[in-house]
A and B are shown apart, each in its own frame.
Chain A
Amino acid sequence: MPFREGPLGDLKVPLTWTAAVALIVAAVIAVAFLLADRRETLQEQAYGVTRQTVDTVAKPVSGAIAAPGRWTGLGLDYVRSYFFTASENRRLKAELAEMRQWRDRALALQDQNDRYKSLLGLRTDPPIPMASARVVSDSRGPFANTRLADAGSERGIAVGNPALNERGLVGRVVGVSRGASRILLLTDIASRTPVMIDRTNARAILTGDGGPNPKLEYLRGVDPIQQGDRVVTSGDGGVVPRGLPVGAAVKGLDGRWRVVLFADQAAIDYVRILLFKDFSQLANQKELEAKVLPPVTTEDPQSSILSTPPAAAPKPATPTPATPPAVAPPKPAPPAKPAASGAPR
């Protein structure tokens, strides 16, 4: 028997009030979600299974939707190259001639650089392996700037890996699932990247705000920056390697220094994800978090600093080599409390 024909058929529920209660309950759930969100921490655990599942499902769907656009772009490129072959050839020849000069210069500098490194005994960074991926979806709003790439944990990609296109740094991986990874762009409001001005080595933090040109914050030094200065990653904090190209400095309409990103000069359809292990991944977090303080016992200042040196013996007639005066050996310090094996290094 249908409900309306039963004894409760004439029961009038105050729908407006019930709807208001439903609205309040839904709002409370939304607030709880917002408070529980830890997206800005860029931690693997903060990404969550739901997001990973949605990314895994969205990858083939968005890939299929993006495919016609990609094919159209490839077709247009083909037509353009067919009709403009001669002018393209002239341009490429001129570029090649210029590049040959740069190649000779680069080889000379490489040789010089190798010699300096061997003279200084410098420990250089090891080469970083990378994985290529295609971008299948792209969010560009003021509150979220991310991209979904079609390579994930099966290719060794991990949270924190930097992503580049052929021009420069694009962002960092914030979530990884099987077959897909979410890249937080430099323009996202949660993005913070340590950078430096190539010309002056002045440090700053590149801060996204949802617009196309992220801000340079905490810029230090006297007159550290000029219009058009090249901005690269500084490697500070160990989250991204040093020296990755980021963009060029410009003064914004609001009077703040901003960066025109190199990565925006080309379509971000393919990205290279550097499988870079940052310092925090290399260090043993448990050892770093161990609360064992170093011993407070120090050597006795009376015997080390404040003690008077022994009376100098009368100088012999013969000249002696200029050696520092001998100092009485300090009293051995009391045995320090043995540090635990988990002491910070």
Chain B
Amino acid sequence: MKLGGARPLNPGRWLGVPMLMCMGATILFAAPLRVWGLQLPEPVFAMVPAFAWAMIRPSILAPFAILVLGLFLDIFWGGPTGLWGLSLLVAYAMVLILRNAMTGQSRPMMWAWFAGITGVAMVAAFLFTMLDSLAMPSLLAVFWQFLVTALLFPFAHRLVDRFEDADVRFR
């Protein structure tokens, strides 16, 4: 059997496991805890695979996995169905378009890219919410969620590092 650089990834490992981990982290951070009157932050953990999967390789399954993750977020958080699915897909598409420019850059630069893409997802969610609810969400609340989500880059970096070289056709 000759596959050259093609060593297809196991979807269960590079899509399934991160997806389940994101769901678990989301459920964990939804615990109604207060420490000295402060609540837990609520980052969008699904941004990690949305960024990393597009960096690793283009895929047919990944957009649907992101859609499932987004729908889970909407239903679990009680938001409008489809809001996070669509916003995460916008971010995923953006990374897919820009991945040639991003690949091989330094870690701080990649962190900046991740923050930028997170910003795109938040702006998309902001606009979709405005269209859906005909009301403007609080900019400060959006900013806080953006900030705590942007801090998740090390997880995205680890996921990219783990699978980036697995299929060299897409390097």
Q: Which residues of B contact A23 (CB under 8 A)?
A: 63, 89, 92-93, 96
- Whether A37 contacts B30 by the Cβ 8 Å rule is no
A26–B92 Cα gap in the complex (Å)? 11
Main secondary structure, interface of B, reads: helix
Give the distance to chain A from B103, nearest Cβ to Cβ, in Å.
Answer: 15
Asked if A317 is an interface residue, CB under 8 A from chain B, the answer is no
Give the distance to chain B from A70, nearest Cβ to Cβ, in Å.
Answer: 8
- From B34, B86, B141, give the contact of A34 (CB < 8 A): B86
Asked if A29 is an interface residue, CB under 8 A from chain B, the answer is yes
A268–B103 Cα gap in the complex (Å)? 46
Q: Which residues of B contact A22 (CB under 8 A)?
A: 59-64
Binds B, one of A58-66, A83-91, A279-287: A58-66
Q: Which residues of B contact A136 (CB under 8 A)?
A: 32
A5–B96 Cα gap in the complex (Å)? 31
- Whether B32 contacts A137 by the Cβ 8 Å rule is yes
Binds A, one of B67-75, B111-119, B158-166: B67-75
Asked if B101 is an interface residue, CB under 8 A from chain A, the answer is no
Asked if B83 is an interface residue, CB under 8 A from chain A, the answer is yes
Q: Mark B87-113, 1 if CB is under 8 A from A, else 0.
A: 001101100100000000000000000
Q: Mark A55-84, 1 if CB is under 8 A from B, else 0.
A: 000100110011001000100000000000
Q: Which residues of B contact A210 (CB under 8 A)?
A: 137-138, 141-142
Give the distance to chain A from B51, nearest Cβ to Cβ, in Å.
Answer: 15
- Whether B137 contacts A269 by the Cβ 8 Å rule is no
- Whether B27 contacts A65 by the Cβ 8 Å rule is yes
Q: Which residues of A contact B93 (CB under 8 A)?
A: 23, 27
A29–B78 Cα gap in the complex (Å)? 19
User: Given contacts A19-B63, A141-B145, A189-B135, is CB(A33)–CB(B82) below 8 Å?
Assistant: yes
Asked if A243 is an interface residue, CB under 8 A from chain B, the answer is no
- Whether B82 contacts A62 by the Cβ 8 Å rule is no
Asked if A193 is an interface residue, CB under 8 A from chain B, the answer is no
- Whether B77 contacts A189 by the Cβ 8 Å rule is no
- Whether B67 contacts A50 by the Cβ 8 Å rule is no
Asked if A203 is an interface residue, CB under 8 A from chain B, the answer is no
Q: Which residues of B contact A207 (CB under 8 A)?
A: 135
Q: Which residues of A contact B11 (CB under 8 A)?
A: none
- Interface size grouping (class) on chain B: 35 or more
- Whether B42 contacts A139 by the Cβ 8 Å rule is yes
- Whether A19 contacts B96 by the Cβ 8 Å rule is yes
- Whether B83 contacts A143 by the Cβ 8 Å rule is yes
Give the distance to chain B from A237, nearest Cβ to Cβ, in Å.
Answer: 19
Q: Mark A142-156, 1 if CB is under 8 A from B, else 0.
A: 111011100000000
A184–B83 Cα gap in the complex (Å)? 17
- From B32, B96, B144, B145, give the contact of A138 (CB < 8 A): B32
Q: Which residues of B contact A16 (CB under 8 A)?
A: 58
A151–B84 Cα gap in the complex (Å)? 28
Q: Which residues of B contact A66 (CB under 8 A)?
A: 31-33
Give the distance to chain A from B77, nearest Cβ to Cβ, in Å.
Answer: 4
User: Given contacts A16-B58, A19-B60, A23-B63, is CB(A142)–CB(B138) below 8 Å?
Assistant: yes
Asked if B76 is an interface residue, CB under 8 A from chain A, the answer is yes
Asked if B79 is an interface residue, CB under 8 A from chain A, the answer is yes
Asked if B128 is an interface residue, CB under 8 A from chain A, the answer is yes
- Whether A31 contacts B135 by the Cβ 8 Å rule is no
A91–B25 Cα gap in the complex (Å)? 41
Q: Mark A257-285, 1 if CB is under 8 A from B, else 0.
A: 00000000001110000000000000000
Most buried by A among B34, B62, B78, B140: B78
- Whether B82 contacts A32 by the Cβ 8 Å rule is yes
Q: Closest residue to B132 on the A side, CB-wise?
A: A34
- Whether A139 contacts B77 by the Cβ 8 Å rule is yes
Q: Mark B20-33, 1 if CB is under 8 A from A, else 0.
A: 00000001101111
Asked if A124 is an interface residue, CB under 8 A from chain B, the answer is no
Give the distance to chain A from B129, nearest Cβ to Cβ, in Å.
Answer: 5
User: Given contacts A23-B92, A139-B78, is CB(A268)–CB(B63) below 8 Å?
Assistant: no
- From A33, A40, A147, give the contact of B71 (CB < 8 A): A33
| Chain B contact residues, CB within 8 Å of chain A | 1, 3, 27-28, 30-34, 39, 42, 44, 58-64, 66-67, 70-71, 74-86, 89-90, 92-93, 96, 125-126, 128-129, 132-133, 135-138, 140-142, 144-145
| Chain A contact residues, CB within 8 Å of chain B | 2, 4-5, 15-16, 18-20, 22-23, 25-27, 29-37, 39-40, 50-51, 54, 58, 61-62, 65-66, 69, 73, 135-144, 146-148, 174-175, 182, 184, 189-190, 207, 209-212, 267-269
